Amino acid sequence: MCSVCYKGYVYDSQADFDGVQVVSQSGHNIVFVNFNYRVGIFGFLASEKIRENGDLNVGLLDQRKLLSWVKQNIAQFGGDPDHVVIHGASAGAGSVALHLAAYGGKPPDSLFVAAISESLFFPAQPFLQEVEWQFDMVAGLLGCNTTGVDQLACLRGQPMLFLQALNVAAPFPGRRDNPLFFWTPCVDDTLIQDLPYSLYEAKDFLPVPVMFGTCTDEGSIFVSPLTATQLEFTNFFQNNFPDLTSTDVANILDHYPQIAPAFTIPVTGPWYPTLSKAYGDSTFTCPSINLLRHITARSVAGANHLDYSNKIFAYRYNVQAPENTISGLGVPHVFDAAAIFGPSSLPGSSLSYFGTGPGGNAPIVPILMDYYISFIRTLDPNVYAAPGAPVWHPWRDGTRLKIETGNTTMETVMTQDLERCVFWETLATQMRQ
């Protein structure tokens, strides 16, 4: 199992967390590989000048280099080079989706046999020509835009600390406030040959078994709890997806009428629940659901693959923790990570994961962990499922496992939620997803 992490392609997410518990739980039947890759300005600064004398999307290429190394060397550690399963959380899950569609689904090398996506992340991922201004901005701030100066050579000659100082966000052209995620992969016509949704719509991705999971309240940690007005809602979306028009945002509002806050304490802005839901759907939940739909459509037997429709699995993580409920976060982004790898493996894990009494979530840890281990070992989460765990049925037409302490069961995605996800995909071009 190779695990890809990192926050928004920008921040260090401590990718060296301990995998001992999950390996031990597997009976030492898996080898766990975690790794670092370049992020931010070092991983995703892009320009035609870089393409002419270097590589684009080097953060993703770092990942593929690691996967190639695993393929060549994992047998020396007791692993099977012909049974590599990749896993990613958040931007790592976005990376997984991009690797599935890398080189238009026709990569020069076979690096993995299955993929797991935990909270799939689709920020704006623009075309190369649309991010030239970022390169020019960095070059200008470092004095590399003087006439006659080789800008790329000048940048390469800068001290790393100078570049790191510019590893920050700035407003997109025509917008006033910073986006949440400024440095992201771009469409480079080689590794990433089109917008992600377009690649999946065209079936330009690898036909392999997959597991996709999301948390119930994916957007809650990303938007301001003080969001008070519809104008703030509009500005947030246009600051993060600058090609959305006023008409586009009006259509978003039609699909997301204002939701009343669930609690009076903590005090939140009246538009916080609505923005949290809409952003969570647009950027995390619906990319997962929409890709599951496209993967399922291709899963029937084809010229180059067998029918694998029974190897497509999805879950919604709905495990409540007192501190998240009190703070109004619900079940936030990647809250399932502590159950997947064990709470002792992730610093800052919820104390609820260590408790077995009322409000304790310790019982859910072996259930989710064993499902993951089983999928990694057999490409089926049921073979080595925990004793008493319910049978996990394939996705097919919208069936997923609801994972909840004391109440894990299959559920069907609501029609309204499926329709909203279809709506978000109609905005894929404007949102560069």
Indicate which residues carry an active-site annotation: 90
Neighbours of 16 (CB within 10 A): 10
**CA distances (Å), 136 to each of 1, 48, 182, in order?**
39, 11, 15
Number of H helices, E strands in the chain: 18, 8
| CA 132 to mean position of chain CA atoms | 25
Quote the DSSP letter at residue 334: T
| CA 14 to mean position of chain CA atoms | 16
Distance (Å, rounded) from C-alpha 319 to C-alpha 317?
6
Neighbours of 180 (CB within 10 A): 16
Residue 62's closest CA among 5, 17, 8? 5
Distance (Å, rounded) from C-alpha 63 to C-alpha 85?
13
399-403 and 114-118 as β-strands: parallel, antiparallel, unpaired? unpaired
Question: Quick check: bond before 358 cis, omega within 30?
Answer: no
Cβ atoms of 209 and 270 within 8 Å: the answer is: no
Distance (Å, rounded) from C-alpha 60 to C-alpha 39?
9
Q: Which residues does residue 403 pair with via DSSP β-bridges, in sequence order?
A: 317
Distance (Å, rounded) from C-alpha 29 to C-alpha 10?
33
**CA distances (Å), 233 to each of 89, 269, 351, 421, in order?**
26, 11, 33, 19
Helix, strand, or coil (residue 187): strand
Residue 313's closest CA among 366, 369, 386, 391? 391
Distance (Å, rounded) from C-alpha 206 to C-alpha 287?
17
Distance (Å, rounded) from C-alpha 423 to C-alpha 430?
12
Q: Which residues does residue 118 pair with via DSSP β-bridges, in sequence order?
A: 89, 213
